[in-house]
Structure 1
Amino acid sequence: MSGSAVKPPAAGLVGREGELDLALAELSGLRDGRSSVLVVEGEAGIGKTRLVETLAEEARSRGLRVLCGGGHPFERARPFGLAASALDLTPRSPDPRAAAIGELLSGRSTEPADAGEIRYRVVEEIVDLVETACAEQPVLLVTEDVHWADTASLLAVLSVTRQLSLAPLLTVVTTRPAPLPGSVVRLLDDLTDGGGRTLRLAPLTPDEVTALATRTLEAAPGPRLTAMLDKAGGNPLWVTAVLRSLTTDGALVRTGSEVEVTVSELPDSLGELVTRRLRDLPGPTLELLRVAAVLGDAVSLRDVAAVAHRPPLDVAGQLAAAYDAQLLDRVDHRVVFRHQLVHDAIYQQVPVPTRRLLHREAAVALMAAGADPLAVADHLVLGAERGDEEAVAWLRHAAQDAAGQAPSVTLDLIRRAEALLPGGHPDADAVSADVVQALLRAGDVAEASARAEAVLERPHAAEVDAPLRVALVAALALQNRADELVAVVEAGLATPGLLSPAEQVVVLAQQSWALTYSGAPAAGEDVATRALAVATETGDPATSVWALTALLVAEGRQGRFDAALDHARRATSLADASPAARAMPLQPRLMLGMALFDCDLVGEARAAFRAALDDEFGSAWWLSATLMADAQASYAVGDWDDAVAGLMAGEQAAREKANPLLEWQSLAYRTVIATGRGDLPAARELAGGFTGVLAGEQLPYNAGVLAFAAAGLMAADGDRPGAFALLLRCWRAEAERTSRFYHRFLAPDLVRLALALGRTDVATEVAGTVEDDVRLAPGVATVRSTALRCRGLVDDDPEPLLAAAELARRSPLVVEHTGTCEDAASVLAREGQHDAAARLLGEALERYEAVGAEAWAGRVRAGLRSVGAPPGVRGSRHRPGQGWESLTSTERTVSLLVAEGLTNGAAARRMYISPHTVNTHLRHVYAKLGVSNRVELSAVVHRSIE
């Protein structure tokens, strides 16, 4: 034995002491409630599985819950396959929660749900399941071979790590190195960005190979054997396999204290070594091994028997030789290859034509046995040939089963079905329509529209024309291609009988939204009115909900908030009474909440938002928008700590849905809050995430709130001309779009800055416009107060401003109230009415101090001093920075529920918020209380409420 001494292997491992120590340290951190992520990367056979098995054994010895699962090469068409194996998500699971998720995955659940979003429901249930386990005891979650995993499982792993960052959970992910599928690369990047650590397992050193051989042989290898093992390249599986093979062949002899080899040849690869072992097997055993390899790396004995057309008992007996040759293991009722490389070697040894035939035979046998369509699909993808109509039909059926759970799987299956169709087949257009729908569900909207247009432009089957046009309209809407969308809708409507009444309503609603959000809300209203007329004729509540939703959005953008609210109430009432309407990708309660908020009915609006979050139907489609709307309401009434938590949760949900508009909106509101609090560095950092879009040629439809935030920061930095220019640009853009939605955001600051910079023309124009707004929404107090406020500033007249302040005083909206008080006080002060000015400034100061807007409070204090009414020494109205008293009311509620033992999901349901938001609140609670886990939090809660 040459070289320096090798450190004794820890826990049965050789050469992985450092990696194991690091993993064990992360395991120990679970005692403190810390969540962590380890990514173990390395080539096949390098020891990833052995490392995580050792970690799992140690975790069990410490009383931890261990959940293990892995991806498999022929199961990528099985949505949530990896997650299901790790968490036992089957209808037969002894855990009722896991069984319920298994029912959802099997399609046997009796609960109604929107098929398009069932995967998000499943993901949330998985997160709740893991969190429940963590509440009982720390958990080690192992997900092996994610390079084989389906996209739905990858989403589940990411969601668990993101949402349970405060739970005692160690998540271990193993993978081979690049090249990897893009979805896996994105997962690994996200895990790393979230603080996960990566362990890259390098080949064993020569000394470590010698130590491994010594352990295996119970004696040191001699020089010739050592030289032979060096050819294994430090791969421990290859080293072990060579030693076992040499032992089986009787090619090792003991000479003194060493073991030496008696042959000089070594196979060049593990695959060749496995092939050598196959030569010694009986013919029936070899045939069954090939069948098993085609079925997968861990397969049912019954499936092997079904494909081989042999009785199960005969199969079990004939495979005995493969077990003796150490090619197979038994796990429960499954045939498991000793290692993926063994499986791969046997699979690759089967000639390609034979392999394809075996896959097709496997599909037929599994079909006859009543297997899950998705279990058959993998074999059809690998075994069917062009012209196989049975395979096409089965793949389309499997794609339908996967549609709600894994859109990317659906797309892969339907593309394969399309490739199998012979040229000129009568089903070609129907399959093309399936491809378009799958592309839409997978988010590939550009390709979806291109494919739909290509089919519609050529002769095609009449029955696919309408669904393709409806799909094309949806794809164009998602790409903001309003002009093309309008043309497609009009062409479809111009063809008598082409679109059913329900289809007409859907495309008209899409056209209305496209027109409204692209800057033509009046035209959008006309189209929505047409849609409502068609829906009314059909008497179908579901189609009426589509039309009313489009109509209320168009009315709201034009400033007719009262009318929009009436239609929102009607849409919600119809949806509540219609199961068909509730299953649509719409969320009438969210729309109702936004309409209520626009009418200053903030309490009712928040109740509607909470109801929308609690509503399973359509909630996943609209989660980010609902979270954002509720957080906006928190901001508006001055619950800024809660608002920040909700905004962060909404931003995360928007990022998961690839919705940059809502991401920017979250950043904008948080910028306003940071500016008001005087944290300008944080405000600048936040604003950097969205100000670029305000410099672009085309402003987004929510530019009003973005400009309000950016201009407020610019003014705080002393750049009043820049703030004025930005607000004016957005004001002009609103005018060009005939939109009045953001007037309440833009007008007061724009008027004030215009007057300060000598632009009375702009100030007069803006004041006149917001006075016109009152005619459109006379019942909305803030619309009226904005008009009075702007008129008073332009005319330097305190009377309209005092009337505006009286209206704003009745509202729970902080910024509207305080801003009006400040504006009225400035005019009163110039007229010498210092006492009246001081009273208004005192109102503003009280509310600013209550919400923690210290920078704005400082501005008001300066105003008080200027009118001879210094604020004096006021008791601090701020909560302390640490301890129980520092918590907001929402943070206390979250803490109390967690102390009761509720999971994030259960607490969220109790509070009618999202688990994302609960998790964000808990982060703040932990920081304020100086605790690191739920046990410590519970102790603080119990001490504080005694």
Structure 2
Amino acid sequence: MVEQRRRGTPHGDSTGLLGRSSECALLDQTLAAVRMGESRVLVVHGPAGVGKSALLEYAEQSAAGMWVLRAAGVESEMELAFATLHQLCAPLLDRLDRLPAPQRDALETVFGTRAGAPPERFLVGLAVLSLLSDASERRPLLCVVDDAQWMDRASAQVLGFVARRLLAESVALVFGSRQRDRDLFGLPELEVTGLKAADAHALLDSVTHARIDQRVRDRFVAETRGNPLALLELPGELTVTQRAGGFGLLHADTLSGRIEQSFLARIAALPEQTRLLLLIAAAEPTGDPALVWRAAERLGAEPATVLAGGTDGLLEFDARVIFRHPLVRSAVYGSAKDDDRRAVHLALAEVTDAQADPDRRAWHLASATAVPDEAVAAELERSADRAQARGGLAAAAAFLQRSVALTIDTSRRAERALSAADTSLRAGDIEAAGRFVDLADRDVQNDWQRVRAHLVRSHMVFSAGFNNEAPPMLLAAAQRLEPYDMDLARETYLIAWASASYGAANRDSLMAISRAMRSVPPPDGSTRALDLVFEGYALLITEGRRAALPALRRAVTALAEAPVQDIMGWIWAAGGSSALLWEDRLMAEWPIRVIEEVRRLGALTALPIYLHGLGLPRVLSGDFATAAAIAAECEAVAAATGVPMTRHTTLMLRALEGKEAEAATLIATTIEEDGASGQLNGVASAHWAAAVLYNGLARYEEALPSAQATTQSANQLVSQWALPELVEAAARVGDDLAAHGALDDLADSAEPCDTDWAQGILARCRALLSNDAGADELYREAIKRLGRTLLRPELARAHLLYGEWLRRGRRRAEARVHLRTAYEMFVSIGMEAFAERARRELLATGETVRKRRNEDAAGEELTAQERQIALLVRDGLSNPEVGARLFLSPRTVEWHLRKIFAKLGISSRRQLGDALSGGGAESAG
């Protein structure tokens, strides 16, 4: 570590760190804020030797009265998931029983103290957030992570997650890193640069006692760029003559390379056994002195002999083995001969407990192996399962990838390469998946392996987003899978179907996939959800809705009864089954059960899909407060996991709210961004929202093209739901051909489904295009039918259309009844554009009506997140439960509640029910 200390010198400062007064002041401010109950995060970054570690040490020494936790990334341990996190959290593990059970189980699993399925990475992050928050309740907490550039990816992701969610906890999280890490990008940062000239000269004076020419001094300071470690270390390798005359100064080598060379010179001067000890310590990342000494003794190095002459200050033995600087570790390890490195790793493997730490033992064995070795490859393969439980898919992929490299038998190598490719893909590393599927293709021995390689490639294309390439590739993969694994083939067919329906593919592609599905021999009398969804989707496209209805109805029943774990891999593709049947209650209910299981399992990356499935029915039912809360949670999950968020719920919410500026901006952004990336499902949803928005604003000429664009989509649901918008817009602009064509398509979709939703919408649209004699009865039927559904906006629109029709027929008294009903419903729901349209119609009947907003809606001043917290607390969730739902600590939830109470003018949780009761919010979902 670079001290840079110059106490009592003319160039020193009150911090004791030469030339670092501003940096130390920022650290002082950070600690002061934490002592006041706030959270702070800081990424201290700069090149090697610039003094980051000294600043982190200053923060630790200044943290009087605080609890200090420390960890450091180690280059050789970057593939071992959660290694850095375990260092940081080890002192807190006795507090795990204070966490909610899912979070406690997640941490115990990744730290290897219990067996279990691999937890979702972001459930681990939430658990660490809760753990740090809990620990900070006793006294403020400072967490220091040095050499963050060498953190394993799992630890980096989790700590980045935690850093972005610290708010009202007394926690400081300070990282030291050579560069800005992608998982820490966007966090508050402090760039550390070289010392100013005066301070650099003072530091150089402290280590050079002979006289040096001023021009030589200036050149040395300039070429080191004021790097403190260079100023301290490099003069020592020059002779007095070289220093005085300017010979031997820096050349074209990189500064860090030159500093490392200075360490190498010191290492080379040490006795052989001492150099061996340094190499063992460099290869053993945990810094366990007992382990280092056992490995040294196995290699014939006796402690008394090794330490007799010291280590020239390069290595210290205390509670942990500590190198003077990370560059010493890299210099030792990088300069060693390959045979020496392998011997050291073998010794470490032999002294590592195979029961307590089998994965690290396997990793040492792999590093000790120069040629393919089946025994070691098999051990790595076995470790992959354990690694997945502890560190997730990325950790498993690392072991499998190394296993492939040590396999000599081509058949086994192909099998392991396929596993490595599949695991890498599921871990999100598409580039690695491509490399290993290429290796598998080279070594495949049979058609089954070729089929699986093709499946991996198909999913690689699909993982890049809905696009035109994925559906045909998935279709081909499904067809090739049939002789080997029919269930996997059917799942792949379903994903291909969904890819074509929801993505950029056109209807011809969807038809080709559906015909291929029809050619698959049906299982006799199967009642499995997979088989019924498969049959229903295939019939829907090839034979039409009437033919598909029986299978779809049975599928919806089977999906409701099937264990969620059994259908989790493809339920997202089948989630539209109830909506295809126009079953509003089933559509609102099915996501709830899946979301409960997703939360229980901690499978947060899948959560946005199901939150959308929950949020859109809430919008369509007029429960805007709950829909907004669900959309806010969807945004929180997407931000936490990095999974792209679907905007369907927010698009329709903004369209029905009728706030043109806000809605139009979101619609235009979605069309531009999703169109550029080929995500035509998002484009279709945006056009649907535009059609609703402009129908509400009574600008039918603008609603018409948007509705027409939506109905051309391959997405069965969006195109189905846009048909009523097309009928209304076309009818209002006098385009009879378009209006009647849309009505015929709507009848094909809705007539076979004897539900109040289907028949109510169909009756309302038929009334729009009917003569005077038939319209009256049809409007009444629409109101009666829709009144039995959850769909309050659709019912209100039926009253509006009926009232408009009655007014045009000069039946003003009757018109006022329905227009007033529509106006009151629109206002209570929060549909501003439709409410204004109804108000204008009322004025046209001669009635005086005051323009007003939803005066009863609670929480108008609340932000989306505050509203969501208020709803969850009102529904009886505790602060820890709310925090678990929204990726916040309980103390942050309490901080938000204080703001919510102030805005609503209440003082307790019990009062939230009354304060929010006017908004029509049923539940926070």
TM value normalised by structure 2: 0.81
Shift of 1:293: 2.1
Q: Which AA in structure 1 matches 2:757?
A: T
Aligned mate of 1:271, from 242, 251, 260: 260
Post-superposition Cα deviations, 1:171-197, rounded to whole Å, max 9, x if no partner, equal 3222113xx7xxx3x3243xx2xxx32
Deviates more, 1:14-23 or 1:699-708: 699-708
Shift of 1:803: 1.7
Q: Which AA in structure 2 matches 1:394?
A: E
> CA separation in 2, counterparts of 1:31 and 1:368?
42
Secondary structure in structure 2 of the residue aligned to 1:778: coil
Shift of 1:574: 3.2
| CA shift in 2, pair 1:343/1:267, >3 Å | farther
Shift of 1:671: 3.5
> CA separation in 2, counterparts of 1:172 and 1:34?
14
Alignment partner, residue 848 of structure 1: 826
Post-superposition Cα deviations, 1:794-840, rounded to whole Å, max 9, x if no partner, equal 12523212221222233332321222222121111111122222222
Alignment partner, residue 785 of structure 1: 760
Given that 1:45 and 1:236 are in contact with CA atoms closer than 8 Å, whether structure 2 keeps it comes out as yes
> CA separation in 1, counterparts of 2:889 and 2:531?
32
Alignment partner, residue 653 of structure 1: 637
Post-superposition Cα deviations, 1:887-931, rounded to whole Å, max 9, x if no partner, equal 987543546799x9733xx2256xxx5537999998986766679
Aligned mate of 1:287, from 264, 276, 281: 276
Given that 2:168 and 2:891 are in contact with CA atoms closer than 8 Å, whether structure 1 keeps it comes out as yes
Alignment partner, residue 187 of structure 1: 183
Given that 1:613 and 1:914 are in contact with CA atoms closer than 8 Å, whether structure 2 keeps it comes out as no
| CA shift in 2, pair 1:130/1:777, >3 Å | farther
Aligned mate of 1:305, from 281, 293, 301: 293
Q: Which AA in structure 2 matches 1:915?
A: F
| CA shift in 2, pair 1:126/1:527, >3 Å | farther
Alignment partner, residue 348 of structure 1: 334
Shift of 1:201: 0.5
Aligned residues: 876
Deviates more, 1:449-458 or 1:680-689: 449-458
Alignment partner, residue 608 of structure 2: 624
**Aligned: 1:668 with 2:643:** no
Shift of 1:74: 0.6
Alignment partner, residue 155 of structure 1: 157
Aligned mate of 1:902, from 879, 895, 902: 879
**Aligned: 1:487 with 2:487:** no
| CA shift in 2, pair 1:902/1:399, >3 Å | same
Shift of 1:337: 0.9
Aligned mate of 2:691, from 708, 711, 720: 711
Q: Which AA in structure 2 matches 1:326?
A: G
Q: Which runs of structure 2 are paired with 1:428-577 in the superposition (5 Å)? A: 428-444=413-429, 448=433, 452=437, 460-461=445-446, 464-465=449-450, 467-468=452-453, 471=456, 474-475=459-460, 478=463, 481-493=470-482, 498-514=483-499, 517=502, 518=505, 519=507, 533-534=522-523, 544-548=528-532, 550=534, 564=552, 566-575=554-563
Deviates more, 1:842-851 or 1:358-367: 358-367
| CA shift in 2, pair 1:324/1:436, >3 Å | closer
Shift of 1:336: 1.5
Alignment RMSD: 4.7
Secondary structure in structure 2 of the residue aligned to 1:37: strand
Shift of 1:41: 0.9
Alignment partner, residue 255 of structure 1: none
**Aligned: 1:401 with 2:386:** yes
Q: Which runs of structure 2 are paired with 1:589-608 in the superposition (5 Å)? A: 598-601=583-586, 604-605=589-590, 607-608=592-593
Secondary structure in structure 2 of the residue aligned to 1:329: strand
Shift of 1:13: 2.1
Secondary structure in structure 2 of the residue aligned to 1:622: helix
Shift of 1:684: 3.4
> CA separation in 1, counterparts of 2:582 and 2:888?
23
Post-superposition Cα deviations, 1:355-398, rounded to whole Å, max 9, x if no partner, equal 54345524642567556354246546655334344443333334
Shift of 1:773: 2.3
Alignment partner, residue 809 of structure 2: 831
Shift of 1:200: 0.9
Alignment partner, residue 717 of structure 2: 741
Aligned mate of 1:802, from 780, 784, 790: 780
> CA separation in 2, counterparts of 1:636 and 1:671?
12
> CA separation in 2, counterparts of 1:133 and 1:939?
28
Shift of 1:942: 9.2
| CA shift in 2, pair 1:530/1:163, >3 Å | farther
Given that 2:723 and 2:745 are in contact with CA atoms closer than 8 Å, whether structure 1 keeps it comes out as no
Alignment partner, residue 855 of structure 2: 877
Aligned mate of 1:392, from 364, 373, 377: 377
**Aligned: 1:817 with 2:782:** no
Secondary structure in structure 1 of the residue aligned to 2:277: helix
**Aligned: 1:209 with 2:200:** yes
Aligned mate of 2:145, from 143, 147, 152: 143
Shift of 1:119: 3.1
Q: Which AA in structure 2 matches 1:307?
A: A
Q: Which AA in structure 1 matches 2:325?
A: H
Given that 1:525 and 1:554 are in contact with CA atoms closer than 8 Å, whether structure 2 keeps it comes out as yes
**Aligned: 1:234 with 2:234:** no
Alignment partner, residue 257 of structure 1: none
Given that 1:163 and 1:916 are in contact with CA atoms closer than 8 Å, whether structure 2 keeps it comes out as yes
> CA separation in 1, counterparts of 2:648 and 2:411?
48
Alignment partner, residue 744 of structure 2: 768
Secondary structure in structure 1 of the residue aligned to 2:50: coil
| CA shift in 2, pair 1:944/1:431, >3 Å | closer
| CA shift in 2, pair 1:223/1:598, >3 Å | farther
Secondary structure in structure 2 of the residue aligned to 1:109: coil
Alignment partner, residue 48 of structure 2: 44
| CA shift in 2, pair 1:788/1:944, >3 Å | closer
Shift of 1:69: 2.1
**Aligned: 1:103 with 2:96:** no
Aligned mate of 1:639, from 585, 598, 623: 623
Secondary structure in structure 2 of the residue aligned to 1:630: helix
Alignment partner, residue 312 of structure 2: 325
| CA shift in 2, pair 1:472/1:646, >3 Å | same
Post-superposition Cα deviations, 1:417-456, rounded to whole Å, max 9, x if no partner, equal 434445x644232223223213322335587579658856
| CA shift in 2, pair 1:754/1:140, >3 Å | farther
> CA separation in 2, counterparts of 1:459 and 1:607?
43
> CA separation in 2, counterparts of 1:478 and 1:585?
14
Shift of 1:203: 0.5
Aligned mate of 1:71, from 39, 52, 73: 73
Shift of 1:499: 0.9
Post-superposition Cα deviations, 1:81-104, rounded to whole Å, max 9, x if no partner, equal 222222228978876659744531
Shift of 1:460: 1.4
> CA separation in 2, counterparts of 1:11 and 1:592?
67
Secondary structure in structure 2 of the residue aligned to 1:174: strand
Gaps of 5+ in 1: 252-260
TM value normalised by structure 1: 0.79
Aligned mate of 1:198, from 189, 198, 202: 189
**Aligned: 1:864 with 2:853:** no
Alignment partner, residue 81 of structure 1: 83
Given that 1:654 and 1:663 are in contact with CA atoms closer than 8 Å, whether structure 2 keeps it comes out as no
Q: Which AA in structure 2 matches 1:338?
A: R
